[in-house]
C-alpha cells in the first residue's frame, strides 16, 4: 500500500471512530458490550487494511520481466551502436564484429587474411569508418579502443539513441525511448540465440550462411569459436 493510500485509510478510520463516539454518547440505550464489539470490529478492519500480511503483499521490485524473443534485428545500426546500447561497454569483440559487418557490406573479404575490395565505403558511420581506414592503411595494430568508443558515442547521439541526463556534470548520457526499444530487441535476439538456436557452434566458414546472426553472436559474446577464428586472421598482415 502506498503512503497516500495509508493516509486515506487513517483519515477514514478517525472519522468513523469520532462519529461512533458521538452516536455512543448521544444514545444512552446503547448496550456497553455491543459498543465494545463494534469498536473492536472497527479496529480489526482498520488493522487488516492498514497493516496487511506481508506474505501476501506484492513486491513489484521482485517481479520478473516476461522473457521476449526476437529473430531479427534492424540492419540500420552498426555493431558498435548495438553493443553500446546493449550494455554501454565496448571491447575487442566489437571490433571483430565490425570487421564482419564490413565484410557483409562487401568492403572486405576475410579468408586466411583480410583482403580489401574496390567497393566504395559509403553510408558508414564514423566508428565503422575508423575501423575500415585502419584496415585500409594496414594499421589495425594501432587500434585505439578509447577513441573508438568516443566515435560510437557520437554516432549514438547523432542517431538519437542517446540523450543527456539533465543536471549532470560532467555530461552523462542515457538511452532515448528509441534506444530503449532497440535494447528490448537486442535482449530478444540474445534470448532467441540462447534458447532456440545453436549459433554458438557455428564457425567462420559458415558466415556465408548465417551472416548477421553469426556477427551478432560474436558481438554479444555468445559464439566464442568464430570469434577466436577471426582473431587469428586479424593478427595476420593485411594486404
pLDDT band of residue 60 (cuts 50, 70, 90) is very low
HSE-CB at 65 with a 13 A cutoff on CA atoms is 7
Distance of CA 63 to CAs 53, 58, 60, 66, Å? 18, 9, 5, 9
Q: Retrieve residue 230's grid coordinates.
A: 577471426
Checking if the pLDDT of 132 tops 90, the result is yes
**pLDDT reported for residue 99:** 96
Q: Retrieve residue 28's grid coordinates.
A: 444512552
pLDDT band of residue 55 (cuts 50, 70, 90) is very low
pLDDT band of residue 163 (cuts 50, 70, 90) is very high
Q: Write the pLDDT tens digit of every residue in 196-219.
A: 888 999 999 999 899 999 999 999
HSE-CB at 232 with a 13 A cutoff on CA atoms is 8
Amino acid at each position: 500500500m502506498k503512503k497516500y493510500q495509508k493516509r486515506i485509510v487513517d483519515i477514514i478510520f478517525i472519522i468513523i471512530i469520532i462519529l461512533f463516539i458521538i452516536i455512543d454518547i448521544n444514545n444512552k440505550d446503547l448496550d456497553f458490550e455491543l459498543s465494545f464489539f463494534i469498536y473492536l470490529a472497527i479496529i480489526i478492519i482498520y488493522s487488516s487494511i492498514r497493516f496487511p500480511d506481508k506474505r501476501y503483499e506484492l513486491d513489484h521490485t521482485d517481479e520478473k520481466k516476461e522473457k521476449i524473443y526476437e529473430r531479427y534485428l534492424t540492419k540500420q545500426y552498426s555493431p558498435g551502436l548495438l553493443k553500446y546500447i546493449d550494455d554501454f561497454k565496448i571491447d575487442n569483440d566489437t571490433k571483430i564484429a565490425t570487421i564482419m559487418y564490413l565484410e557483409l557490406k562487401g568492403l572486405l573479404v576475410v579468408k586466411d587474411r583480410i583482403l580489401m575490395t574496390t567497393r566504395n565505403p559509403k553510408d558508414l558511420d564514423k566508428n565503422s569508418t575508423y575501423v575500415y581506414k585502419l584496415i585500409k592503411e594496414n594499421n589495425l595494430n594501432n587500434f585505439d579502443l578509447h577513441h573508438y568508443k568516443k566515435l560510437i558515442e557520437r554516432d549514438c547521439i547523432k542517431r538519437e539513441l542517446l540523450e543527456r541526463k539533465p543536471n549532470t556534470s560532467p555530461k552523462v548520457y542515457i538511452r532515448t525511448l528509441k534506444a530503449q526499444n532497440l535494447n528490448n530487441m537486442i535482449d530478444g535476439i540474445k534470448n532467441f540465440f540462447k534458447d532456440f538456436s545453436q549459433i554458438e557452434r557455428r564457425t567462420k566458414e559458415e558466415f556465408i550462411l548465417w551472416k548477421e546472426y553469426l556477427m551478432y553472436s560474436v558481438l554479444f559474446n555468445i559464439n566464442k569459436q568464430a570469434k577466436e577464428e577471426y582473431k587469428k586472421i586479424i593478427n595476420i598482415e593485411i594486404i
